[in-house]
């Protein structure tokens, strides 16, 4: 599929990257309304409409090369992740004057629960117009894609592996018509029954490698994922650290009993849940373990994850 590009004014230094399929297709329906509001508040801008996976990355990379100063992403966390990865292809020559705005309209939009970006479209555009810029960290992964090739990818919110990868795959392959909470809880419950614990080997920074039996491990820059699960209540997007939450050798019954604690912030009270902080995480497994990177399912272990401090300028509320 070929993505569409529309240019309102060739000299514009603002570009919108719009995923019409985000939010189960609702972004495409809302786009004429969003476009009118944005033009009234922000002036002229270039518009890129994605047609499929990877388009947002291509558009973001191209925008950087054309000297765009503000890129506004319209969609969900998956679209924002693609935009971030397009920008970070220029990591070695990243422009300090480049800023990201976000108008969230996706299935989960978990990242905005951590940073001060409202889901309301009018308010999100007003915040972009106010231009309060915050520099945040990013996570960086090196992993294997499904063809076995080594890949590098960045994440703004959370990367996880284990049950989270299974859930992401199931959510992305089924309807999201009933909203984020139902989509993720349904996929989580089904995956729990079909999925078994995995054995992994984990090393954090310069520590010793440790073996764990796990349901899931979340490596967090933001605090929430999976449609509202507060998996990393102490995470901060600008402290130069990654927060790791390991859900360990719980029984199946124990996992169900403590499932509500994933939503109410009490996850650290659960026996067999271990939390760490670090700047670099290396993980291997003798089993097939799927990754979840900002809601997308790009590959499997082994993985090396590190933090890139103050890597992205993003507009948030004060």
Q: What is the CATH number of the domain that holds 124?
A: 3.40.50.10330
Residue 316, domain member (yes or no)? no
Nearest to 269 by CA among 224, 310, 296, 233: 233
Mean pLDDT of 178-190: 64
Strand, coil or helix: 248? coil
Q: Are residues 205 and 303 in the same domain?
A: yes
Q: Are residues 50 and 162 in the same domain?
A: no
Number of domains composing the chain: 2
* More confident: 275 or 23: 275
- Quick: pLDDT tens for 92-148: 656 788 999 999 998 778 999 999 999 999 999 999 999 999 999 999 999 999 999
pLDDT of 6 over the 70 cut: no
241 has pLDDT over 50 = yes
Distances (CA, A) of 203 to 98, 118, 215, 258, 279: 34, 36, 17, 26, 11
Q: Clarify whether residues 234 and 165 are in a common domain.
A: yes
The CA distance from 73 to 60, in Å, is: 9
Are 108 and 229 contained in the same domain? no
Closest CA to 189 of 213, 214, 167, 212: 167
91 with 151, same domain: the answer is no
Phi, psi of 118 (to 5 degrees): -80, 155
User: What is the maximum span of the chain, computed from C-alpha positions, in angstroms?
Assistant: 60
Percent of the chain with pLDDT over 70: 87
Domain-terminating residue out of 131, 148, 163 = 131
> What confidence tens digit (pLDDT) does each residue in 25-75 have?
999 999 999 999 999 999 999 999 999 999 999 999 999 888 899 999 999
C-alpha closest to that of 69 among 317, 318, 313: 313
- Whether residues 125 and 178 share a domain: the answer is no
Q: Are 35 and 45 in contact (CB under 8 A)?
A: no
Percentage of residues of the chain with pLDDT beyond 90 = 69
Any alpha helices (H) in 43-134, and if so which ranges? 55-65, 77-88, 121-130
Q: Is the pTM of this model over 0.85?
A: yes
**pLDDT value, residue 11:** 43
Looking only at the bridges linking them, the beta strands covering 150-155 and 210-214 are unpaired
CATH number at residue 227: 2.60.200.40
Owning domain of residue 246 = 139-310
Tokens of 74: 């319209």
pLDDT of residue 3: 55
* pLDDT score of 254 more than 70: yes
Domain boundary residue, one of 85, 108, 131: 131
Based on the fold, state whether residues 16 and 149 are members of the same structural domain.
no
Residue at token pair 């570009």: 15
The answer to whether the peptide bond before residue 302 is cis (omega within 30 degrees of 0) is: yes
Give the pLDDT confidence of 16-27 residue by residue, as tens digits.
999 999 988 999
Indicate the pLDDT class of residue 260, thresholds 50, 70 and 90: confident
Kindly state the DSSP code that residue 101 receives in the 8-state scheme. Answer: E
pLDDT for the residue 172: 61
User: 3-class SS at 46?
Assistant: strand
């Amino acid at each position: 599929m070929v993505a569409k590009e529309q240019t309102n004014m060739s000299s514009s230094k603002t570009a919108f990257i719009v995923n019409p399929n985000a939010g189960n297709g609702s972004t495409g329906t809302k786009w004429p309304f969003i476009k009118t509001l944005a033009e009234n508040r922000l002036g002229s801008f270039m518009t890129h409409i994605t047609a499929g996976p990877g388009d947002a990355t291509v558009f973001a990379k191209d925008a950087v090369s054309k000297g765009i100063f503000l890129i506004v992403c319209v969609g969900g966390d998956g679209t924002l992740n693609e935009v971030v990865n397009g920008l970070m292809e220029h990591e070695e020559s990243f422009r300090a004057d480049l800023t990201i705005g976000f108008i969230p309209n996706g299935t989960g939009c978990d990242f905005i629960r951590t940073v001060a970006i409202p889901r309301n479209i009018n308010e999100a555009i007003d915040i972009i117009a106010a231009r309060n810029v915050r520099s945040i960290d990013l996570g960086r992964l090196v992993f294997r894609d499904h063809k076995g090739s080594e890949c590098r990818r960045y994440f703004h919110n959370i990367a996880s592996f284990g049950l989270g990868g299974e859930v992401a795959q199931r959510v992305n392959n089924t309807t999201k018509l009933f909203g984020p909470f139902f989509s993720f809880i349904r996929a989580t419950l089904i995956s729990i029954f079909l999925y078994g614990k995995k054995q992994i080997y984990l090393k954090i920074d310069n520590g010793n490698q440790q073996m764990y039996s796990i349901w899931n491990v979340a490596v967090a820059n933001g605090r929430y994922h999976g449609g509202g699960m507060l998996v990393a209540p102490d995470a901060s997007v600008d402290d130069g650290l990654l927060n790791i939450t390991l859900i360990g050798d719980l029984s199946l019954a124990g996992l169900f009993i403590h499932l509500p604690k994933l939503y109410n912030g009490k996850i650290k009270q659960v026996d067999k849940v271990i939390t760490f902080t670090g700047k670099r995480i290396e993980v291997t497994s003798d089993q097939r373990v799927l990754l979840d990177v900002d809601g997308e399912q790009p590959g499997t272990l082994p993985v090396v994850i590190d933090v890139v401090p103050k890597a992205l300028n993003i507009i948030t509320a004060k």
